[in-house]
Structure 1
Amino acid sequence: MPTTAHTHAAAPVLVATDLSAQGDRALDRAVVLARELGARLIALHVLEPGTSAAAGGAPSWHRLTEDHREWASYRLGLDLDGAGIDTDIHVESGDPAEHILHLAQACGCGLVVTGVGRNESLGRLLLGSTVRKVVRHVAVPVLVVKTRPHGTYPKGVVATDFSPESGHALGLAARLLPRTPLTVFHACDTVLGMPGDAAHAPESLQHDLDHEMRGFLADIAGLPPGVPADTTVQYGEPETLLSEYVFRTRCDLVVAGAQRMKGIMGAMVGSVAERLLESLPSDVMLVRGQAVP
């Protein structure tokens, strides 16, 4: 359902929505991002075949029927009317991950956006096998939206273990969010496993970590001026410290690599991803490493 026609330099943004209230947050965030990037927005709604059987007496728009397709297209059309961007609407049936992967590849998308609904047609997207499948096979970031958007993200934090994968995540976040100040966050266990902060670290350790941070940032090609806006190093269990930092700073977005990374980042696809997505108040962007086989 195209709107205004003009040429975009940016890759399209794909948003997968279950048409729930949480899905509306993802749709609104995708509109904001597509507008800022000057990108086309592709909106996808998928009804899984098992949903109608489990739902029993579900209304006709929630079954695998043309009524559902027409209703979903109508709803998405209303939601996107007046957005001021090019939009395409797709209503499909089948496996959500398969349709997301197909559209993302076929349309050359630069970002996949989704919400956190649990009991709707895309409810299992975030947890379990579907998110692992999407993140491991789609070659673009996956943004999980939890908060209601109020314009551009005021701040974001990029979790790093100083690996190439987390450098790749920072570079992509800088390109996708050019107006968002990004803080690079590194957490490491202390010798005793006790939380602490950089101000109380041994001077030699602090010097080594500062040197490693500078080297890490210097190795990332093409970072624009002002990226990152800040850096922070904390001591203790990475998952706990990241959660505490996000709560304390009222951070709106966490960016993390999703594979072949140490500590928290290496576990992002799996049980830790589920815990973080449930516990963090912020949106979460998962970025797959560049060279995953």
Structure 2
Amino acid sequence: MTHPVRSILVATDLSARSDRAVDRALELGREWNADVHVVHAIERDAATTALDVRRVLPDPGAKASVGLPYGPAPKAITDTAREMAADLVVTGVARYNDLGDYLLGTAVDHVVRDAPCPVLVVKQRAHGPYQRLLVATDFSKGAKAALLGAAALFPEARLHLVHAYHVPFESRIKSEDVRAIARSEAQQKLDALLADLPEAVRSRIEPHLASGEPGVVLDEVAREVWPDLVVIGARGISGFVQATVGSVASSLLQRVAADTLVIKEG
């Protein structure tokens, strides 16, 4: 069966902090037998050459092509991804405390919004294939698309499906009945989602339902299952703010140390 990813674009600024993204992209290329294209955007007159880019690869002779597009990094990356019909864009991070601190600065929001394909933000060193995925869901169409997309990309991985439900008036009414009703409604939605999934996907899912603020619940589950990849569905309207799990998307990018895959609906 043909893997859905045949072409990977990975962005680098030639610094050591880009190494993790480049290493992961090359590993995925080997795992999926996909072409890897390493891109370094040149915004000013620079003497950067393809050889300079190859020097940052773990193996300068690695099977990968090199591109040196001109222009601001965000646009150069998304334009190149579109031109080469990339199936996945890979980028890295510098620090975790703010979205503006990502390797490409606030460009990550631009890349996620404008890339024609899923975007993988790499935070950790690659130590093997992704095996434990944490997938956030609010039972929306976009969240379901992200779940199915991640399942197709990583057909051997365990899928930890997380939903944080709201208990109405919990701060004012300490009622077990109210809590039970809220959980029952969430469970019904989960059951409906699972029933609508292919058995090959359903059999790999471990559901996690909990009441509370979504970011807190996702953080707690992440500490419990130690995912090596977090998956977020995004509508692509205005970047992370319009993710299908709301502001949880930006919260996850800051709070969870695992790599993050953003998949846009359609």
Task: Say yes or no: does 1:207 pair with 2:188.
Answer: no
Deviation at 1:202, TM superposition (A): 4.1
Task: Say yes or no: does 1:246 pair with 2:222.
Answer: yes
**Structure 1 segment 249-264 matched on structure 2, within 5 A:** 249-259=225-235
TM-score, normalised by the number of residues in structure 2: 0.82
Task: Say yes or no: does 1:284 pair with 2:260.
Answer: yes
Of 4, 11, 15, the match for 2:10? 15
Change (3 A) 1:267 1:8: closer
Of 37, 40, 45, the match for 2:35? 40
Q: Which runs of 5+ in 1 are unaligned?
A: 1-6, 50-63
User: What SS does the aligned partner of 2:150 have?
Assistant: helix
Task: Say yes or no: does 1:65 pair with 2:42.
Answer: no
Deviation at 1:123, TM superposition (A): 6.5
Query: % of aligned pairs identical?
Result: 35
Stretch of structure 1 that moved more, 152-161 or 131-140: 131-140
Once the two structures are superposed, what CA deviation does each residue of 1:67-89 show, in whole Å capped at 9, x if it has no partner? x225523414x534464xx4211
How far, CA to CA, are the matches of 1:32 and 1:200 in structure 2?
50
How many residue pairs get aligned? The number is 255
Deviation at 1:17, TM superposition (A): 1.4
Match of 1:29 in 2: 24
How far, CA to CA, are the matches of 1:100 and 1:47 in structure 2?
11
Stretch of structure 1 that moved more, 149-158 or 8-17: 8-17
Once the two structures are superposed, what CA deviation does each residue of 1:223-272 show, in whole Å capped at 9, x if it has no partner? 734554211111110012212221232221110112389xx974589976
Deviation at 1:173, TM superposition (A): 0.6
Q: Which runs of 5+ in 2 are unaligned?
A: none
Match of 1:115 in 2: 92
Change (3 A) 1:260 1:46: closer
How far, CA to CA, are the matches of 1:140 and 1:11 in structure 2?
12
User: What SS does the aligned partner of 1:46 have?
Assistant: coil
**Structure 1 segment 260-279 matched on structure 2, within 5 A:** 266-267=242-243, 273-279=249-255
Residues 156, 253 of structure 1: 8 Å contact kept? yes
How far, CA to CA, are the matches of 1:276 and 1:241 in structure 2?
11
Task: Say yes or no: does 1:79 pair with 2:55.
Answer: no
RMSD: 3.2
How far, CA to CA, are the matches of 1:219 and 1:265 in structure 2?
28
Once the two structures are superposed, what CA deviation does each residue of 1:140-193 show, in whole Å capped at 9, x if it has no partner? 111111011110112111100000000110111111112221111111222245
Residues 115, 146 of structure 1: 8 Å contact kept? yes
